Structure 1
Amino acid sequence: MPVPDPAEFARLSGFAAVDSAGVHATRTITEVFTGRELGEVPVGAAGDVIAAVERARVAQARWAARPVAERAAVLDRYRALVVGERERLMDVIQAESGKARWAAQEEIMGLMFAARYFSRVAPKLLAPHRVRGAFPLLNRAAVHARPKGVVGVIAPWNYPMLLSIGDALPALAAGNAVIVKPDSQTPYSALANVELLWRAGLPREVLQVIPGPGAVVGTQIVRSCDYLMFTGSSETGRTLARECGDRLIGFSAELGGKNPMIVARGADLAKAARAAVRACFSNAGQLCISIERLYVDSTVAAEFTELFVAAVRAANLGAAYDFSADIGSLISPAQLETVTAHVTDAVSKGATVLVGGNARPDLGPLFFEPTVLSGVTDEMECGRNETFGPLVSIYPVSGVEEAIARANDTEYGLNASVWAASTVDGQRIAERLNAGTVCIDEGYAPAWGTTAAPMGGMGISGVGRRHGPDGLSKFTEPQSVVATRWMNLDPPFGLPQSRWQPMLMGIARSLRFLPGR
């Protein structure tokens, strides 16, 4: 396994936007696979955020004044740079997150899709559009999309490029400036993309990255920005929503998930079992939209379980900067502790380990085997709570009705997967699931990659949507501009109000005959 070049990470450290007048502590970032040092980044303080926002406000006014087509062109040039630099970018993702290379490539493709989509649709979606005025002959009305101003993005560690820069792209296209707080464990993924956006022509102070603790940097971003985008736990999302509510600023969030997969009678079991390995164990299960609950029709449960366990057992767990590993590492001791605790608790209360169940320090300090449990109940920690690791439970069910009921029996509602005898059958099941996205005959990737469609959660899994037109418009303020021509609403020709107002009412009533009224 090649060692990442420390010089590359030292160079990227220079892109962290902190107040140069201050003296900052630094944080050492380590390679997850081995624990070796990659580099050091400055630890931001509240004053750094305040200074960055001040710079951003000045730069944002100039950026918003540029034609939308010019802003979109920056995103398109950035997309081309991502394609050209993809190998280096995947190295960075893997080094600081520990995921398998194919999962790192998911992030690269996600950035490509997002940049392509928003660069293409922004000029049309952000253009002023005419609407019918109150009095069509007298009023000319148009709706304009104004940028929010300075957008804060608080990003997680699990998909550190896609969930930081991917959320910044539509905000930038809409004419905002963006302040990104990456997770303290994964700053280089954001910094590497900032460099590419600058190279693509984005003014430097329009996008700034400030590493640092959430309690300090994140809190000050919430206190300073005009809109907040957050990806993380439901618990933290509640706290941030309250803080945004206190300031009366907009807030969007993708939060936790306890995502179900339904395997109905008549499904292609072999195909479903192979796909379930990806769906459950991408990024070692550290993915909000990965599957943690499998509901399988009892008539095929034994066969599916045998196929699935065999596929999990055959998956290659390991550290590699190529595509030879199927599943990578957990990111931190805290994640390893959580997964271990969930497995231990479940087994102590009667669950059975069908495959996996063990840490693998022989592969690296934070590896844990992909694990499948049966006999899981709600009393177990992993029964209803998100593990966010390589742990999935399998449940035989009496049929589709029970599968749907149990899939919906949760506070979460982020993603779901359906496997049935036909696409039509799968569609019928999907439409009854309380989930923001549902994949038929796949786990999560097609829904995530369909950037023209909204992506987000129901219940405690999120607020608002990323992707699709909503993923752009949420970063704007709609402004209605209505011009009155020829005459206003004062009585004409000296008519008294006693005659004018009935006439005005008559005109208003007649408008019901106009199309679209």
Structure 2
Amino acid sequence: MPTSHDFDLPASLTPALIERLSRRVTAAPGAARVTTSAPYTGASLADLPVSAPADVENAFARARAAQVAWAATPLRERKQIMLRFHDLVLARQDEALDLMQAESGKTRRDAFLEVSDIAITARYYARNAARLLKPQRRRGAIPVLTHTTELRHPKGVVTVISPRNYPLSMAAGDAIPALMAGNAVVQKPDTQTALTALWALGLMREAGLPADVWQMVVGQASSIGGALMAGADYMMFTGSTASGRRIARDAGSRLIGASLELGGKNAMLVLDDADVERAADGAVAACFPSAGQLCVSIERLYVAEAVHDRFVAAFVARAEKLRLGASYDYGPDVGSLTTPSQLATVTAHVGDAVAKGATVLAGGRARPDLGPLFYEPTILAGVTPGMTLYDSETFGPVVSIYPFRDVDDAVGRANAGPYGLNASVWTRDGARGRAVAARLHAGTVNVNEAFAAAWASIDAPMGGMGDSGLGRRHGADGILKYTEPQTVAHQRVRGFDPPARVSPQSWSVFLTAALMAMKKAGVR
């Protein structure tokens, strides 16, 4: 397998394609430019225009004007656009895979998961939006006489701020339900992986979405973050907990809603009756996809003492066999980190732990021979509270492993700390696994799986507890959060005031008797 220093970008990523994608950024002519780099090599990748605050304001003005007509577009037409987008993503996936690998450094198999995820998301909301958004009859105040309906209106213009680690899933995946609900979207993808997001935008327009309904800006939050907040009717953010707190504060001051998927320090529990070999395979899948740059990946492993040594031996053996590499095919198992700053964080966390007494069971070092940002899958034992990675998110291919005495001990340790995004439980007894899962402080818990089972169950909500965020994506929650509920109550014949010649006191006696009769009759 060639090293990252020995090959160029794949043939699909021509200068003409990159230039065409960059022109989809909402920015004024002559705007400043920013250059991104390919993680595999460190070579320059794209030259993108940078949006100024005035560009963001212009994007919101155009989006707000376009949203009126888009909200009036029948849902069946929105559905057909989304289904065409579904087909285009699958048909043109090789181009998307090349882009994701070039921008993020992940393996092709990890990139393909994003393609399949977006196809599933587009299909789900295309075929379920009408059911989820349709007017709902609600029980009226007075049976028969009060006709009450709940309606769902789009928020207006939604701001989506998406991260670099899953540039297709997080960009398109959060825009799809917002668009299906009748909103316009102004999005700021991470600059490093903006080409992938711009590719998705182009396919959505090719599928029939009006141009101004979904727009993208590029720039630093310090420059355009204020404009993104000022124009939004709702905020959708995926990123760090620190940034999420600031967004929640600012959204609160504007009295708009926000959905935030933030950090995690996710735990996996291997119970004493687990299939050790299967659990070791699961741990590899849990800890090292996208080089550990995944919000729901596992960074803490708690293993029952009865199976600890066998599990550790099996897990370490598998980790040491993983193939690191930079290749635009399905060969490597683990790819590169995405940015120098992330490599610095991973290196610092592991170095701090080792300096303070942790033991490296596998990995533990960067691999500049493969490329500038490669780091080996790393397993640590003996990690203690005084070490940075004990309770801080590393966001890299690093996991610490701990033995536990009993389930209460494991649950207590897994729940310690402020985060609550994802967790995993391994056992031969499904009922036992589900019971333990219900005790874990996490928005999603997988039994005998790492994270894919809950994530891909798109009819169910996904999100975090505690410092891992607010709100949910997927399922009904994932589209209803982008709407304003409205109650329309039509009162027939008689209202709530007493009839003529009936005193308020007599009327109150009558209503009291009626309420008691309704309760006795089982009226809800």
Partner of 2:112: 105
Partner of 1:349: 356
For residues 93-492 of structure 1, what are the structure 2 equivalents within 5 Å? Answer: 93-492=100-499
C-alpha distance after superposition, 1:432-491 (max 9, x if no partner): 111111111111111111110100111101101111111111111100011122344455
Shift in Å, 1:113:
1.3
Partner of 2:20: 11
Contact 1:154/1:218 (8 A) holds in 2: no
C-alpha distance after superposition, 1:317-337 (max 9, x if no partner): 110111101000011110011
What amino acid sits opposite 1:15 in the alignment? R
What amino acid sits opposite 1:17 in the alignment? T
| Distance of 1:444 and 1:501 partners within structure 2 | 57
Which residues of structure 2 form unaligned runs of 5+?
A: 1-6
Shift in Å, 1:498:
5.8
Contact 1:143/1:481 (8 A) holds in 2: yes
Shift in Å, 1:260:
0.7
With over 3 angstroms needed to count, the CA separation of the structure-2 counterparts of 1:2 and 1:441, relative to structure 1, is farther
Shift in Å, 1:72:
2.1
| Distance of 2:467 and 2:289 partners within structure 1 | 22
TM-score normalised by the chain length of structure 1: 0.96
Shift in Å, 1:302:
1.2
| Distance of 2:180 and 2:251 partners within structure 1 | 23
* Structure 1, 183-192 or 491-500: larger mean CA deviation: 491-500
Contact 1:418/1:440 (8 A) holds in 2: yes
With over 3 angstroms needed to count, the CA separation of the structure-2 counterparts of 1:507 and 1:379, relative to structure 1, is same
Contact 1:297/1:399 (8 A) holds in 2: yes
Partner of 2:3: none
Contact 1:265/1:421 (8 A) holds in 2: no
| Distance of 1:189 and 1:515 partners within structure 2 | 56
What amino acid sits opposite 2:128 in the alignment? V
Which residues of structure 1 form unaligned runs of 5+?
A: none
In the alignment of these two chains, the number of paired residues is 515
| Distance of 2:101 and 2:66 partners within structure 1 | 33
| Distance of 1:401 and 1:132 partners within structure 2 | 44
* Structure 1, 397-406 or 474-483: larger mean CA deviation: 397-406
Contact 1:181/1:218 (8 A) holds in 2: no
C-alpha distance after superposition, 1:157-193 (max 9, x if no partner): 1111111110011111111101110011111111000
* Structure 1, 480-489 or 118-127: larger mean CA deviation: 480-489
Name the SS for the 2:453 alignment partner.
helix
* Structure 1, 130-139 or 280-289: larger mean CA deviation: 130-139
| Distance of 1:496 and 1:423 partners within structure 2 | 63
| Distance of 2:258 and 2:523 partners within structure 1 | 33
| Distance of 1:473 and 1:466 partners within structure 2 | 10
Contact 1:68/1:126 (8 A) holds in 2: no
* Structure 1, 266-275 or 493-502: larger mean CA deviation: 493-502
Name the SS for the 2:294 alignment partner.
coil
| Distance of 1:514 and 1:137 partners within structure 2 | 16
* Structure 1, 69-78 or 256-265: larger mean CA deviation: 69-78
Name the SS for the 1:186 alignment partner.
helix
What amino acid sits opposite 1:168 in the alignment? A
Aligned-pair identity (%): 49
